[in-house]
Amino acid sequence: MELDSLSRRLIDRFQHGMPLCAEPYRAMAEALGCEEAEVLAGLQRLDRAGCLSRVGPVFEHSRAGASTLVALAVPPARLEAVAACVNGYPEVNHNYLREHHYNLWFVLTGPDRAHLDRILTQIEAETGLAPLDLPMRSAYRIDLGFPLEVAS
Amino acid sequence: MSGCISPSDLAQARRLVALTDAGLPLVEDPWAWLAERLELDVEATLALLQRLQADGAIRRIAAVPNHYRLGYRHNGMTVWDVDDEALERLGPLVGAQPFVSHCYRRPRQPGWRYNLFAMVHGRNADDIERDRQAIRTLLGEVCRADEMLVSSRILKKTGLRLTGASSPARQR
């Protein structure tokens, strides 16, 4: 997906944070040296193209309760069924298939650690697979963003 | 969300999470849209957001890109078995690399020796292999083993949901 220059600058400049003021799009326009309407149009264009995950507040997950990264080593023949079981839990908000003995990786989020323990026990009972429970101990980087230019 | 947030802010924060689960609508005045639904005036809405951000409950308000759609289709979860004593010094260095989006210390477990996780993203497999090499060089001898787990499929990806309710803002 090739981006126009303004769209690229919008992402590079504001993926880490937008001005939290009364007229955010005007402040963004001033920062980029363009018109306010161009900022909104640029975001809408990015959104229509599916290039925006979202525009809005990113909440501190760890403060919203408890979360952990979980892995399961699923026999290939059972992948679909186990993935469906795991995805059925509203507490699961990311689930990736990865090329490894531990091939199913998902994030569990809940109001507290006891809740997560109950879900882990349930998943183990339902799948017969022992979950690898890897809660975060320290965060060295939690930003979802990275510069488009450097990363390319 | 706890800490030094007042009970009334906490209640509003929960509504805010539900309302902005899929992001804000791309309208001229997003705060007015939010204010109407929070039953606050626009100034109070902005002040609430500012308080929550100052308090750390909101990490940032941002235009979050869909990197996959932007061509960054390759991501690798690199995992490292790093000497515990060196980890608190080297973890932040790994996290500071521009190609790393997430970097965490996690516990070792029986059958799992790795205590450092760093996500790398790139446009192709060579990109992320190069990033992995750069991390390997950075860690040097205090790293005893490492692996890279490449994702082959996204099975589920949703934002944080506290309420279970879907957002009225933007459905995908």
Contacts of A135 in chain B (CB under 8 A): 106-107
Q: Can you tell me the distance from the alpha carbon of A131 to that of A127, in angstroms, rounded to the nearest whole number?
A: 10
* Residue A81: how many other CB atoms lie within 10 Å: 12
Residue B155 domain flag: no
pLDDT score recorded for residue B161: 39
Query: pLDDT tens digits, residue range A33-56?
Result: 999 999 999 999 999 999 998 899
Residue B170 domain flag: no
Chain A 1-40, CB below 8 Å of chain B: which residues? 1, 3, 10-11, 14-18, 20-22, 24-25, 40
- Domains identified in chain A and CATH numbers: 5-48 (no CATH), 61-134 (3.30.70.3460)
Q: From the CA of A41, how many Å to the nearest CA of chain B? A: 9
Q: Report the domain count for chain B.
A: 2
For the cut 80, the answer to whether the pLDDT of residue B163 exceeds it is no
Residue B109 domain flag: yes
- Which residues span the domain enclosing B131? 74-150
Residues forming a β-bridge with B58: A59
Residue B65 domain flag: no
B157 reaches A (C-beta below 8 A)? yes
Interchain pair A57, B158: CB under 8 A: no
* B86 and B136 in a common domain: yes
* B84 and B128 in a common domain: yes
pLDDT score recorded for residue A64: 60
For the cut 80, the answer to whether the pLDDT of residue A121 exceeds it is yes
Interchain pair B23, A56: CB under 8 A: yes
Q: From the CA of A31, how many Å to the nearest CA of chain B? A: 15
* B138 and B98 in a common domain: yes
For the cut 60, the answer to whether the pLDDT of residue B164 exceeds it is no
Residue B162 domain flag: no
Q: Distance between terminal CA atoms of chain B?
A: 27
pLDDT score recorded for residue B151: 83
Contacts of B125 in chain A (CB under 8 A): none
Chain A 112-131, CB below 8 Å of chain B: which residues? none
* B46 and B85 in a common domain: no
Residue B165 domain flag: no
Q: Can you tell me the distance from the alpha carbon of B61 to that of A19, in angstroms, rounded to the nearest whole number?
A: 8
Q: What is the CA radius of gyration of chain A?
A: 20
Among A11, A28, A54, the residue to mutate for chain B (most B Cβ within 10 A): A54
- In chain B, the residue whose alpha carbon lies closest to the alpha carbon of A133 is B109
For the cut 50, the answer to whether the pLDDT of residue A27 exceeds it is yes
- In chain A, the residue whose alpha carbon lies closest to the alpha carbon of B24 is A56
Number of Cβ pairs closer than 8 Å across A and B?
Answer: 242
Residue B27 domain flag: yes
Among A72, A133, A141, A148, the residue to mutate for chain B (most B Cβ within 10 A): A141
- In chain B, the residue whose alpha carbon lies closest to the alpha carbon of A102 is B149
Judged by average pLDDT, the poorest of B14-23, B34-43, B45-54 is B14-23
Nearest to B1 by CA among A54, A142, A111: A111
For the cut 50, the answer to whether the pLDDT of residue B1 exceeds it is no
Contacts of A95 in chain B (CB under 8 A): 154-157
Concatenating the DSSP letter of every residue in B21-76 gives TT-----S-HHHHHHHHHTS-HHHHHHHHHHHHHHTSEEEEEEEE-TTTTT--EEE
Among B4, B58, B60, the residue to mutate for chain A (most A Cβ within 10 A): B60
B140 reaches A (C-beta below 8 A)? no
* B146 and B78 in a common domain: yes
Residue B86 sits in a domain whose CATH number is: 3.30.70.920
How would residue B122 be classed by pLDDT, with cut points 50, 70 and 90? confident
For the cut 70, the answer to whether the pLDDT of residue A103 exceeds it is yes
Residue B80 domain flag: yes
Interchain pair B66, A51: CB under 8 A: yes
* B112 and B49 in a common domain: no
* B22 and B86 in a common domain: no
Query: What pTM, to 2 d.p., does this model score?
Result: 0.75
HSE at residue B18, side-chain half, CA atoms within 13 A, is: 13
How would residue A152 be classed by pLDDT, with cut points 50, 70 and 90? very low
